Amino acid sequence: MLRKGFATLLEKKFLVTSAQYSKKLSISSPLEPEGPSIKTTVPGPKTKKLLKELSALQQADSVQLFADYDKSIGNYFVDADGNTFLDAFTQISSVPLGYNHPELLTTFDDKHNLRELINRPALGVFPAQNWPDRLKNVLMSVAPNGVNGIATMMCGSCSNENAYKTVMMWYRNKQRGGNVDFTPEELATCMLNQQPGSPNLSILSFKGGFHGRTFGALSTTRSKPIHKLDCPAFDWPVAPFPRYKYPLDQHVSENQQEDAKCLEQVADVIEKYNKNGNPVAGVIVEPIQSEGGDHEASPEFFQKLQKICQSKGVALIIDEVQTGCGPTGKMWCYEHFNLPCPPDVVTFSKKMLTGGFYFNTEFRPPQAYRVFNTWMGDPGKLILLERVLKVIKSQNLLNVVNETGKTLKDGLLELEKEFPHLINSVRGRGTFLSFNAPTTDCRDKINADLKKNGILSGTCGEIAIRLRPALIFQPKHAGIYLDILRKTLKNVN
Ligand code: PSZ
C-alpha cells in the first residue's frame, strides 16, 4: 500500500515512473519537504493523547513523539500531529538511509525475499541454503580488514554480551592449552555457578562507556547510574577514558598527557585484577565514547591500547554499535586509527540493521552450541542491509558524509565563535559530531528549543548535544540545521 502510494505521488509530482525514479535516484528523496514545519505545540495534542494511552500499559516517560511512518520521508520525521522535523538524531543513530528509502520500500515485493522474511529460521540449526553466500556477500563484504569470522545477533547489547562470552571461552581455551575436554569438576561446578566451571574472569571497560543493558553488557556500561541501579553486577575493572581539551590543536601536550594517564591506569588495573584472581580476558572500548558524552581519543591512544592488550594476552573488543556503518566517514570508525593489527572482535548493530560481531578465527569456540540462541539474527535484516550497502556504494555515501560533515563542523565552529557562552568543544568525525553547552540545564534548553524549531537532535553525557543524522544528510540539510541552531541560540536566554 505504502509503496504504491509513494510511487503514485512521485509519478504525479515528477512525471516519472518508479523504475525511472530508482535509476535517477538522488541521494535523498525529491519528495522531501524544503524544511521542517511545526504546526502545533511540541508535543502536540495527538501525541499527548497517545502517550496517556501508552502510559496506562507501560512506563513510557522516555517517549518523545509518536511517528507517522507513512509520511516520514528521507531526512524528515513526521509526527502524529503532522509536525515535520529535520531528523539529526535518527532513532538513536540507527537509520542508515532515512525514512522510506525507495530501495528498501521495494525489498519485500520480491517473493523470494518475502519468503525469507516470513520463514524465519533458527539460524544455528536450519539456515537457508543461501545463508553462507548471504554472509559472504553482505556482512563479509564490509568486514574489518584481516578479520574473518562473523556471528549475527539481535541487538547491540546481545552482540556485546556474546562477544564477551566468546572472549572468555578463548581465554579459558588458551589456559587449557587447546585441550577441548572439560574436567568432571568443571562440568559439575558450572551447574552451581561456581569455580572452576564458572571461573572468575573479567572484561575491562571505560568510565563513561556504554555497551548495552543486558546483564553482562550492563556490567561494562558506565555512563549513567539510572542504567545500572538495582541490578547485580560483576566485579569488573574500570579505567578512565581520555577527556580532551578543545580545540585539539591548541592542547596537544595536555591531551597527550591525558592519553598517557589513562593508558597507565589501564595497564595497572589489568595487573591488579590478574593478581587478585579475577583476570581480565577482554577490554571493550567505543571508538568515540557516545552515550557517555561523545568523548574522542586519539589514534595513538588506540594504538597503545592495542599494544597493552597484546602484551597482557587480553582481547581487544571494539564496540562499533553506534559508530559503525559510515557516520564517521569510514565504514568503521576504528579505521581512522591505523592500528598495526586488526582488532580481535568488532561488534555492531544500529545502522547495520542486524546485530553481530566480527572475530578472528582463533576466537571461534571449539565446540558447537556455545555461542548460540534460537534466532541468532534475522535473514530479513541482511536482505535489507544488502540494499543499504549497495546504496552506500553506488551513491558514494561515505563521501557525502565527509562533505556534509565538513559543512556541519565548519558551521558549528563559526557558531562557537558567535556564541562562546553557549557552545564549546565542537568535535567528532564525519557527521558524527557534537558540542558542549556550559551546563546541563542550558544543554537541555537548547535541545528542547531545537525540537520546537523543527530539529530532532540528541543529548549525551552531562552537557553534550550530538548529531546523528542518516548517511543521506547532505550539505543542504546541514545548512538548514545550522540556520535553525543559530536562531535557537539567539533566543536562548
Ligand atoms: O538508553 C539506551 O539504552 C541507549 S541510548 C543509546 C544506546 C542505548 N545505544 C546502544 C549501544 C551503543 O551506543 C553502544 C556503543 N554499544 C552498545 C549499545 C547497545 O545496543 P542496543 O541498544 O541495540 O542493545
Residue 460 CA, ligand 1 centroid: distance in Å: 12
**Structural domain boundaries enclosing 177:** 120-392
Q: How far apart are the first and last CA of the chain?
A: 47
Ligand 1 site-directed mutation target among 220, 322, 352, most atoms within 8 Å of CB: 322
Residue 211 Cβ < 6 Å to ligand 1: yes
Residue 320 Cβ < 6 Å to ligand 1: no
Cell numbers representing residue 432 in the block: 558524527
Cell numbers representing residue 328 in the block: 564517521
Residue 319 Cβ < 6 Å to ligand 1: yes
3-state secondary structure at position 254: helix
**Are both 269 and 148 inside the same structural domain?**
yes
Residue 385 CA, ligand 1 centroid: distance in Å: 19
**Are both 266 and 401 inside the same structural domain?**
no
Neighbours of 136 (CB within 10 A): 12
**Are both 384 and 246 inside the same structural domain?**
yes
> Rounded distance, CA 139 to CA 201, Å?
30
Q: Is residue 128 part of a domain?
A: yes
Last residue of a domain, one of 357, 375, 392: 392
Cell numbers representing residue 453 in the block: 524549531
Spatial neighbors of 21 by CB under 8 A, at least 6 apart, are 7, 10, 14, 102
| Closest residue by CA, ligand 1 atom 1 | 227
* Active-site residue, from 8, 41, 183, 374: 374
Q: Is residue 21 part of a domain?
A: no
- State residue 317 phi and psi, 5-degree precision: -105, 120
Q: Is residue 11 part of a domain?
A: no
**374 assigned to active site:** yes
- What's the domain count of the chain? 2
Per-residue model confidence (pLDDT) at position 29:
84
- Taken in order 445, 450, 452, 458, the sign of the CA dihedral is negative
Nearest-5° angle of CA 230, CA 208, CA 432?
A: 125
**Are both 484 and 441 inside the same structural domain?**
yes
Residue 294 Cβ < 6 Å to ligand 1: no
Per-residue model confidence (pLDDT) at position 4:
41
Residue 290 Cβ < 6 Å to ligand 1: yes
Residue 376 CA, ligand 1 centroid: distance in Å: 18
- Taken in order 103, 108, 113, 118, the sign of the CA dihedral is positive
Residue with cell string 520463514: 119
Ligand 1 site-directed mutation target among 92, 95, 378, most atoms within 8 Å of CB: 92
Q: Which atom of ligand 1 is nearest to the CA of 350?
A: 23
DSSP symbols for 161-184:
HHHHHHHHHHHHHHHTTT--PPPH
Per-residue model confidence (pLDDT) at position 25:
52
**Are both 133 and 239 inside the same structural domain?**
yes
**319 assigned to active site:** yes
Cell numbers representing residue 57 in the block: 500499559
**Are both 356 and 419 inside the same structural domain?**
no
> Rounded distance, CA 472 to CA 194, Å?
51
| Closest-CA residue to 283 (of 310, 259, 246) | 310
**441 assigned to active site:** no
**Are both 70 and 163 inside the same structural domain?**
no
Q: Is residue 70 part of a domain?
A: yes
Q: Residue 477: enclosing H or E segment and its boundaries? A: helix 475-490
91: CATH = 3.90.1150.10
Ligand 1 site-directed mutation target among 349, 354, 468, most atoms within 8 Å of CB: 349
> Rounded distance, CA 278 to CA 266, Å?
15
Q: Is residue 238 part of a domain?
A: yes
Per-residue model confidence (pLDDT) at position 1:
35
Residue/partner pairs of 16-23 with CB below 8 Å, 24 or more apart: 18/102, 21/102, 22/102, 22/103, 22/106
Residue 286 Cβ < 6 Å to ligand 1: yes
Residue 211 CA, ligand 1 centroid: distance in Å: 6
- State residue 280 phi and psi, 5-degree precision: -85, 120
Q: Is residue 16 part of a domain?
A: no
- Taken in order 411, 414, 420, 421, the sign of the CA dihedral is negative
Residue 150 CA, ligand 1 centroid: distance in Å: 20
Per-residue model confidence (pLDDT) at position 417:
98
**Are both 453 and 358 inside the same structural domain?**
no
**Are both 377 and 401 inside the same structural domain?**
no
Dihedral angle at the C-alpha atoms of 374, 200, 311, 359, nearest 10 degrees?
0
Beta bridge partners of 455: 86
Q: Render each residue's pLDDT in the chain as its tens digit; 493 residues.
A: 333 444 444 334 333 344 444 444 589 888 899 999 999 999 999 999 999 999 999 999 999 999 999 999 999 999 999 999 999 999 999 999 999 999 999 999 999 999 999 999 999 999 999 999 999 999 999 999 999 999 999 999 999 999 999 999 999 999 999 888 999 999 999 999 999 999 999 999 999 999 999 999 999 999 999 999 999 999 999 999 999 999 999 999 999 999 999 999 999 999 999 999 999 999 999 999 999 999 999 999 999 999 999 999 999 999 999 999 999 999 999 999 999 999 999 999 999 999 999 999 999 999 999 999 999 999 999 999 999 999 999 999 999 999 999 999 999 999 999 999 999 999 999 999 999 999 999 999 999 999 999 999 999 999 999 999 999 999 999 999 999 999 999 999 7
**Are both 183 and 156 inside the same structural domain?**
yes
376: CATH = 3.40.640.10
Last residue of a domain, one of 392, 425, 446: 392
Per-residue model confidence (pLDDT) at position 26:
84
Alpha-carbon distances of 406 from 185, 299, 329, 366, rounded to whole Å: 59, 20, 10, 47
Last residue of a domain, one of 352, 374, 392: 392
Q: Is residue 90 part of a domain?
A: yes
> Rounded distance, CA 346 to CA 145, Å?
11
Q: Is residue 366 part of a domain?
A: yes
**Are both 83 and 153 inside the same structural domain?**
no
Residue 2 CA, ligand 1 centroid: distance in Å: 30
Residue 213 CA, ligand 1 centroid: distance in Å: 8
**Are both 305 and 182 inside the same structural domain?**
yes
DSSP symbols for 405-467:
HHHHHHHHHHHHHH-TTT-EEEEEETTEEEEE-SSHHHHHHHHHHHHHTTEE-EEETTTEEEE
